[in-house]
Structure 1
Amino acid sequence: MDHLRYAGLSFEEQRAAFLDIVAADSLIAETLARVRQLDLPDWLVVSGALYNSVWNRLTGKPSGYGIKDVDLFYFDDANLSYEAEDAVIRLAAKHFEGLALPVEVRNQARVHLWYPIKFGQSCPRYTSSSESVSYFASKTHAVGVRFGSNGQLDVVAPFGLDDIFSFRITPNRVMDNQGTHEAKGARARANWPEITVVPW
């Protein structure tokens, strides 16, 4: 199977292929439909569930292979309390009951409050869910999808999609995330040996 058949194509060609693959994956399609019903502000399904689904399709692996969960971002800076986010998380847990994959929900307006405690370094105060994606440890992982105002799926990909289609995990050195880049790269290679991890 030619798993690199979309590598090196234009962004528009890769965007179309990416959306076709994501929309055709039953696990992701059902999750996105449920997310849309939840209607969180500035929501974005991001990262692993998306690019892992692309790698699964292109290497002939089954839907859901290697995917731990679905990451759902939203952005609401009206109330930055832990309690407000926790209420959304609990609401979402009920809303997503019965899905094959767990959904992890996080308010990107609050990340700057807990990130230094968890990771020992500061992080910017994000202004949107899309902005937060551009700070992921690996450029390859910086991808999200949401339904646009026209009802069609749209892609957020600040670094493009060629790393995904080239099976290449490329570091994003905007923050000191070498450990995360290397750990995620090693885990990905264990599941998809076709992957190359670019050193930090």
Structure 2
Amino acid sequence: MLKTEQDVIDLIAEDDRMMEMLRAAKKLDLPDWWICAGFVRAKIWDTLHHFEKRTETPDVDVIYFDPAQVDERTEKDLEEKLNRMLPGVPWSVKNEARMHMVNDIEPYESSVDAISKFPETATALGVKLDDEENVVLTAPCGLEDVLNLEVKPTPFFTGTEARAAIYEERIGKKDWKSIWPKITVHHIW
């Protein structure tokens, strides 16, 4: 059973497909890079649901932080590079140094700061490889909720009514309970 950060790291390290994607992203040599969100959450929830087949995610989110280059075209070029390395993967690359403008909020300080402001705690997760190709995990809102199969808003999304509405709308659209029936979804209102 998954109980600790090391359990999650080991789970990902033992998944050949996830490691292949992590190695591809690492080859881009991006500053402060991570593969985050559903890439990590789905693996944890699939394991806790004892699924034999991987739940495919609509995208594989690669994020990085480079304030010196905030042109969206760069992100598309990076997606094309990843597609040449690993075709068929739904790559999505975003420079978090630019995304505050898209989200109309204060600038992020780093990729981990951006991850901490994702809508759900169970999604506020990222993994990458260090120089020795060991899996590194970040969970700025902790692992407790994702490991307990709970969907809750991050503190950032309980801060205003507008953000709470975004969280509630996402929960409805994602309909994760239809895929992972053991999860508990917590609503703000």
Query: For 1:73, what is the secondary structure of its paired residue?
Result: strand
Q: Which residue of 2 aligns with 1:23?
A: 13
CA distance in 1, matches of 2:18, 2:124: 17
Where do 1:9-48 residues align within 5 Å? 14-48=4-38
Aligned partners of 1:45 and 1:144 also within 8 Å: yes
Query: For 2:156, what is the secondary structure of its paired residue?
Result: coil
Q: Which residue of 1 aligns with 2:136?
A: 154
For structure 2, the residue ranges without an aligned partner over 5 or more in a row are none
User: What is the identity percentage for the equivalent residue pairs of Structure 1 and Structure 2?
Assistant: 27
Q: Which residue of 2 aligns with 1:70?
A: 60
1:59-102 deviation line (CA, Å, top 9, x unaligned):
1213431522211101111122233333333333323324xx31
1:143-166 deviation line (CA, Å, top 9, x unaligned):
101122443211111111011110
Choose from 27, 41, 44 the match for 1:51. 41
Q: Which residue of 2 aligns with 1:118?
A: none
Count of residue pairs the alignment pairs up: 182
Q: Which residue of 2 aligns with 1:192?
A: 180
Choose from 96, 104, 110 the match for 2:98. 110
Aligned partners of 1:135 and 1:172 also within 8 Å: yes
Q: Give 2:93's aligned amino acid.
A: V
| 2:120 counterpart of 1:138 | yes
For structure 1, the residue ranges without an aligned partner over 5 or more in a row are 116-121
Q: CA deviation at 1:29?
A: 1.8
Aligned partners of 2:79 and 2:91 also within 8 Å: no
Aligned partners of 2:141 and 2:154 also within 8 Å: no
CA distance in 1, matches of 2:22, 2:171: 26
Q: Which moved more, 1:186-195 or 1:74-83?
A: 74-83
1:113-165 deviation line (CA, Å, top 9, x unaligned):
222xxxxxx21211211110011111121110112244321111111101111
CA distance in 2, matches of 1:29, 1:149: 14
Query: For 1:54, what is the secondary structure of its paired residue?
Result: helix
Q: Which residue of 1 aligns with 2:146?
A: 164
Aligned partners of 1:96 and 1:103 also within 8 Å: no
Q: Which residue of 1 aligns with 2:77?
A: 87
The two structures, once aligned, show a CA RMSD in angstroms of 2.0
Query: For 1:174, what is the secondary structure of its paired residue?
Result: helix
Query: For 2:122, what is the secondary structure of its paired residue?
Result: helix
Query: TM-score, normalised on structure 2?
Result: 0.86
Taking a change above 3 Å as real, the CA distance of residues 178 and 66 of structure 1, as seen in their structure-2 partners, is farther
